């Protein structure tokens, strides 16, 4: 079928800005492709259309400046569907994979239309033009009313992060959200009161960039979203309708609602790879625009370097790719009012065009020094899938880091591993072995015990081994080493003693995560004991295995209460500390910390130690806290100091994780005084005492 007669007038256009831009009278289109031989701009009426209704061929003598292809088209309106057909060599041995049979998305488009009948596999067949392709959509962002929206700008000292999946949070019927809004940005708005009650100050949303749900094993879907198609367009599946314009408004409505509640929005962003995957993956974006520019290739240029573990690696420090990443971040901050970013596998961004680590990676310094991003929360997952581990050594001055060592050392000590007491204590006091010398902030470490990738907190104390059979990969996927302990029985049990022990361990982990120096992150559902039945890699489980079960709030109301009080105390404490404006080194130097074992002033740092105690005098000098941690599998009796800095104290019990609710934790004003100078700790428990100092 040949295209209909063109109804739009067009002229050469300009080579900036890159992407589609609304100007008086029409749209300027601009696309970078160094190795393309010629380019066509295609217009479509519907997402399902295979043939374009109109085609404009870009003449390299008129519509090309340097490596930028451009054209101005009159009369184009917001909502128009379009794409590119890019002609060039298919020479994989040279890194070129042009396929002019495919409709190619504009990397800078702000919305993507997904056709009915979209088939990822069909787009993997070279030369096949019969598949229904995704289309880019023109979007006019200027008409949205932000109603005076402002960023909450919560300092990290008052930040408690809640890692949340947009779809999974409200998909269950028991969420109380009407069916049309379940699993959407608008559905999330309705549950903001729950998050306010919990006390968190920031949500960290798993990927919301448009992703390919079909990038998963046969018969399953990509649920987590770590399969980006676009770095600008929000995921259409999180909208209440199929209108590609609607999803942007609903995302902005969500951000605006969070901000009104004082909650920041942090996006989990994936700039390390795309969903085009490995050599036999689909072609719908960068592979078809200029494969050798956008991806890091092996010496055999027909193959991709795979530092992401997903089949390809974005060439983030190539100048064109760097510019695109910065433009994407600008869009989400400036136009969508996002407050921060957690960079998935951020160490990939420190690799050069050959894959070698840079000492000073350009893209990371671009992000750090960018004025539009100044004040934006920047969090790095400071490792990649090829073994580059940069926790404690990540580039720059503004980046906070997911602290995988906190997770591992806390898990290891609390399950009773030998030789871990020193590492455990180091994590509790802000990981000075990594951050003190750099004079970093108290909250440099993003502390977490669990996250989306791995066991839930419930499963961490219920399973010794992963149980990922439902993923269809014969239990080969997911991490094998989880530093978990099932407390004596694998999986579900009716044994009351084991259930009590598991609950105790859960409260131990929550206490350590919330009260250690650093900024804490809580995994969605851990506060109500969500279980994935031992699945530690539920990326393809868009079902009740992953969804938030709202009935568990009542079932496990004791844990929910425990977390709420912990967060409330955390924020109150951090507000007091923030007044001193100290970095980690200064804070630890000026703080009074006394270490103990079961006997005062006799901490056991030996290989076989499973317990530690410490007395902390607040910087204000008005409050003292005494921590006792028993990771031993038998009870221990700890001596308790009668004086702090030469002043007599009256200790009150705030937390005892071995006790049943409501005696396990209380509001400070309700804390009960201790009767004598010792305290009996049950096995695997934590006790925290507090005292005013006159």
Q: How far apart are CA 288 and CA 43, in angstroms?
A: 18
Per-residue DSSP letter, 238: G
The rounded distance, in Å, linking the Cα atoms of 331 and 620 is: 43
Whole-angstrom distance, CA of residue 542 vs CA of residue 646: 58
| 665 strand-pairing partners | 655
Kindly give the residue spans of alpha helices, DSSP state H, lying in 579-623. 584-590
Q: Within a 10 A sphere around the Cβ of 358, how many other Cβ atoms?
A: 16
- Alpha-carbon distance of 101 to 86, in angstroms, equals 9
Residue 606 DSSP class: S
Report d(CA 214, CA 119) in Å as an integer: 8
Number of other CB atoms surrounding residue 556 within 10 Å? 19
Cis amide leading into 662 (omega within 30): yes
Which residue of the set 106, 250, 290, 381 is catalytic?
Answer: 381
Handedness of CA 437, 438, 441, 443 (dihedral sign): negative
On whether the CB atoms of residues 487 and 462 are closer than 8 A, the answer is yes
Is residue 317 a contact partner of residue 362, using CB atoms and an 8 Å limit?
A: yes
Instruction: Yes or no: say if 251 and 208 are a contact pair by the CB < 8 Å rule.
Output: yes
Using the CB atoms, write b or e for 222-247: b if 16+ within 10 Å. bbbbbbbbbbbbbbbbbbbeeebbeb
Give the strand pairing for 377-380 and 340-343. parallel
CB distance 550 to 171 below 8 Å: no
- How far is 426 from 432, CA to CA, in rounded Å? 7
Number of alpha helices (DSSP H) and beta strands (DSSP E) in the chain: 15, 30
Q: Return the percent helix, strand and coil in the chain, to nearest 5.
A: 25, 20, 50
**Among 235, 458, 233, which Cα is nearest to 224's?**
235
Q: Cβ neighbours of residue 479 under 8 Å, at least 6 residues apart?
A: 454, 466, 536, 537
Residue 443 is among the residues annotated as catalytic for this protein = no
Q: Which two tokens stand for residue 509?
A: 């982990």
Residue 632 to residues 408, 414, 484, 682, Cα–Cα distance (Å): 18, 8, 16, 9
Ordered DSSP codes for 163-227 = EE-HHHHH-SGGG---GGGTTSHHHHHHTHHHHHHHT-SEEEES--B-B-TT-SSTT----S---
First-residue to last-residue Cα distance in the chain: 88
Q: Could you give the dihedral angle defined by the CA atoms of residues 435, 441, 442 and 446, in that order, rounded to the nearest 10 degrees?
A: -70
Beta bridge mates, 594: 615
Select from 68, 52, 28, 144 the least CA-distant residue to 101.
52
Classify residue 24 by its DSSP letter: T
The residues that bridge with 340 in the sheet, in sequence order, are 266, 377
Distances (CA, A) of 94 to 277, 296, 355: 18, 13, 17
Distances (CA, A) of 584 to 208, 411, 433, 521: 34, 23, 11, 19
Active site residue 384: no
Largest CA distance in the chain: 92
Catalytic-labelled residue, pool 344, 409, 542, 656: 344
| Active centre residues (catalytic) | 344, 381
């Amino acid at each position: 079928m040949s295209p209909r007669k063109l109804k739009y007038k067009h002229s050469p256009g300009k080579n900036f800005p890159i992407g589609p831009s609304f100007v008086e009278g029409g749209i300027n289109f601009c696309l970078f492709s160094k190795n393309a031989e010629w380019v066509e701009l295609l217009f479509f009426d519907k997402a399902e259309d295979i043939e374009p209704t109109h085609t404009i061929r870009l003449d390299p003598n008129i519509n090309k400046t340097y490596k930028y292809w451009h054209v101005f088209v009159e009369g184009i309106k917001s909502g128009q569907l379009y794409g590119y057909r890019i002609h060039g060599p298919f020479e994989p041995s040279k890194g070129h994979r042009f396929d002019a049979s495919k409709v190619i998305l504009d990397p800078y488009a702000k919305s993507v239309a997904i056709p009915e009948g979209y088939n990822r596999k069909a787009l993997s067949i070279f030369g096949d033009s019969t598949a229904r392709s995704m289309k880019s959509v023109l979007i006019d962002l200027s008409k949205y009313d932000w109603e005076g929206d402002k960023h909450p700008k919560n300092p990290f000292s008052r930040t408690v992060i809640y890692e949340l999946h947009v779809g999974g949070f409200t998909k269950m019927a028991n969420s109380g959200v009407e069916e049309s809004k379940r699993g959407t940005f608008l559905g999330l708005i309705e549950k903001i009161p729950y998050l306010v009650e919990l006390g968190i100050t920031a949500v960290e949303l798993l990927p919301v960039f448009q992703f390919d749900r079909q990038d998963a094993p046969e018969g399953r879907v990509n649920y987590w979203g770590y399969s980006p198609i676009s770095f600008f367009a929000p995921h259409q599946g999180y909208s209440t309708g199929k209108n590609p314009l609607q999803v942007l408004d609903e995302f902005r409505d969500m951000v605006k609602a969070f901000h009104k509640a004082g909650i920041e929005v942090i996006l989990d962003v994936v700039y390390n790879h795309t969903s085009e995957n490995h050599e036999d993956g689909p072609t719908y974006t960068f592979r078809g625009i200029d494969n050798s520019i956008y991806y890091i290739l092996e010496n055999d240029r027909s193959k991709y370097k795979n530092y992401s573990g997903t089949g390809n690696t974005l060439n983030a420090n190539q100048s064109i790719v760097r510019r695109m990443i910065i433009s994407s971040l600008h869009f989400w901050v400036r136009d969508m009012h996002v407050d921060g970013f957690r960079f998935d596998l951020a160490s990939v961004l420190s690799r050069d065009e050959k894959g070698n680590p840079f000492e000073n990676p350009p893209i990371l310094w671009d992000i750090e020094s960018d004025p539009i991003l100044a004040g934006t929360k920047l969090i790095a997952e400071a490792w990649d899938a090829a073994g580059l581990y940069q926790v404690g050594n990540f580039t720059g001055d503004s980046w906070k880091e997911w602290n995988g060592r906190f997770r591992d050392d806390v898990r290891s000590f609390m399950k009773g591993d030998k030789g871990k007491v020193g590492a455990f204590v180091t994590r509790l006091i802000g990981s000075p072995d990594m951050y003190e010398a750099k004079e970093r902030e108290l909250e440099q470490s993003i502390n977490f015990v669990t996250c989306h990738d791995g066991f839930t907190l419930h499963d961490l104390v219920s399973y010794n081994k992963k149980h990922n059979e439902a993923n269809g990969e014969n239990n080969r996927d997911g991490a094998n080493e989880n530093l978990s302990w099932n407390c004596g029985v694998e999986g579900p049990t009716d044994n009351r003693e084991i259930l009590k022990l598991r609950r105790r361990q859960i409260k131990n982990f929550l206490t350590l995560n919330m009260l250690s120096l650093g900024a804490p992150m809580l995994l969605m559902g851990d506060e109500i004991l969500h279980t994935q039945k031992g699945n530690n890699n539920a990326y393809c489980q868009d079902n009740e295995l992953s969804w938030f079960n709202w009935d568990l709030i009542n079932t496990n109301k004791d844990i929910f209460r425990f977390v709420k009080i912990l967060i409330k105390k955390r924020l109150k404490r951090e507000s007091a500390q923030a007044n001193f404006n100290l970095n980690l080194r200064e804070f630890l130097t000026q703080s009074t910390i006394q270490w103990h074992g079961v006997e005062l002033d006799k901490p056991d740092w030996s290989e076989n130690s499973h317990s530690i105690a410490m007395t902390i005098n607040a910087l204000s000098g008005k409050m003292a806290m005494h921590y006792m941690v028993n990771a031993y599998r038998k009870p221990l009796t700890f001596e308790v100091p009668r004086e702090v800095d030469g002043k007599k104290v009256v200790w009150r019990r705030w937390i005892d994780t071995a006790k049943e609710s409501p005696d396990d934790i209380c509001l400070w004003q309700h804390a009960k005084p201790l009767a004598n100078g010792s305290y009996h700790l049950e096995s695997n428990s934590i006790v925290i005492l507090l005292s005013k100092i006159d």
